[in-house]
Amino acid sequence: MLKARIITALILLFGLLAALFLLPTPGWLVFCALICAGAAWEWGGLAAFPATSRGLFAVSMGAACVLAGFAVGLGGAAVLPAGVALFYVPSALFWLCVMPLWLARKWTLRHRAAAAAIGFVVLVPPALALAHLRLMGPWVLLAVMAMVWVADISAYFAGRAFGRHKLAPGISPGKTWEGAVGAALGVLAFGGIVVSAAVENTSAVLLAMLVPVLIGFTAVSIIGDLFESLLKRQAGVKDSGTILPGHGGILDRIDSLTSTLPLAGLAALWFVTR
């Protein structure tokens, strides 16, 4: 299992880097749409969609990503900030306002139409954010994704070393508050290094202003992880899929990105329009 996990991780990493740096802009958008479609297929499984509905949902989410991306300029034309924001804002409201209640009350995806609508909000905006942030530069997108990976890795090791107090025992018994603190510290360190390297004459004031932003980013990444854990628990499955040997499904790999990428996209819009 460990060997398969390592081999799959290396293939994913090199495949992602190759696509990120080598694909033309329209090709990258299609690549993002394919990821969205694969995640939508797994979402349909968690929501207990029949096979036909599950396939249609996956195809429609992939198509929606491509059409929306070209419509708002993510296929290579000038980005339309108002158009991209139409997708980011509902996503941000969902993760910041709805999701805390969802996790607290452990709501389920009972109704197919509601599950499809929520799936759109969860899956399409982050796919568009992948295309949007890459337009700002491959390294920008890679830095955002790396922050999520740093949060996951830091939480894992801090939880194993110091974990005593359960974060959400009814959803994901392995997660602890100590792991969450470790994730925040890891993101703060990584974010500080990235900003110091990217910004000349970094001031202590700027770094201090970043602290609540990065802590919030960490919290949202954990919420995305917990949401998928809840859905899997309710569906009675260990992984969202089996396409990635040793890693489960696509949703298992992008759960924290679904919550953080749209917020990073919104932050990018704010930064560009200042």
The pTM of this model reads 0.94
CA angle 101, 103, 108 (to 5 degrees): 100
Q: Cβ contacts of residue 232 below 8 Å, gap of 6+?
A: 46, 238, 239, 240
With 0-12 / 13-18 / 19 or more C-beta atoms within 10 angstroms meaning exposed / middle / buried, residue 270 is: exposed
From the list 263, 234, 250, 243, the residue with the least C-alpha distance to 115 is 234
Q: Which two tokens stand for residue 157?
A: 């090791």
List, in order, residues 6 or more apart from 133 with CB less than 8 Å away: 140, 141, 144, 261, 264, 265, 268
Residue 131 CA to residue 85 CA, distance in Å, equals 14
Please say whether the beta carbons of 62 and 56 come within 8 A. Answer: no
Euclidean distance between CA atoms 150 and 220, whole angstroms: 14
pLDDT in tens, 14-50: 999 999 999 999 999 999 999 999 999 999 999 999 9
Residue with tokens 């040997």: 245
pLDDT in tens, 105-143: 999 998 999 999 999 999 999 999 999 999 999 999 999
- What's the farthest any 2 CA atoms get from each other in the chain? 57
pLDDT greater than 80 at residue 202: no
Find out whether 60 and 41 touch, Cβ atoms under 8 Å.
Answer: no
Mean pLDDT of 196-222: 87
Q: CA torsion angle for 29, 32, 38, 43 (degrees, to 10)? A: -110
Q: Which of 52-56, 65-69, 80-84, 90-94 has the lowest mean pLDDT?
A: 80-84
